[in-house]
Amino acid sequence: MTVLDTPQGIEFFQLCARKGALSLEIRGLKRHGRSAYSICKEVYGLKGSRKSVLAQMQAMVDTAILQHQTKGMGPDEERTY
């Protein structure tokens, strides 16, 4: 089991969770309270339609994964996300 107990790990998990919520919202899932779209725009300062915001968030996830992979991990260290 992977534990995300660093600030960077928690931030990455929040990014992924918000991206998933936006994806479900685009497909038609409703929620009470604020929309995932409005939360993502506010938190990450994004602009555009729901689909373009989702694409921007996917790019942010991809960038975070690449940064983690190129951080210089040793061969014995496990890569978990």
E strands present in the chain: none
> To which residue do tokens 């339609």 refer?
49
Q: Model-level pTM? A: 0.81
Please tell me the predicted confidence (pLDDT) of residue 71: 77
Which residue type occupies 40? C
Please tell me the predicted confidence (pLDDT) of residue 22: 97
pLDDT above 80 for 72:
no
Q: Identify which of 59, 34, 60, 37 has the alpha carbon closest to the alpha carbon of residue 50.
A: 37
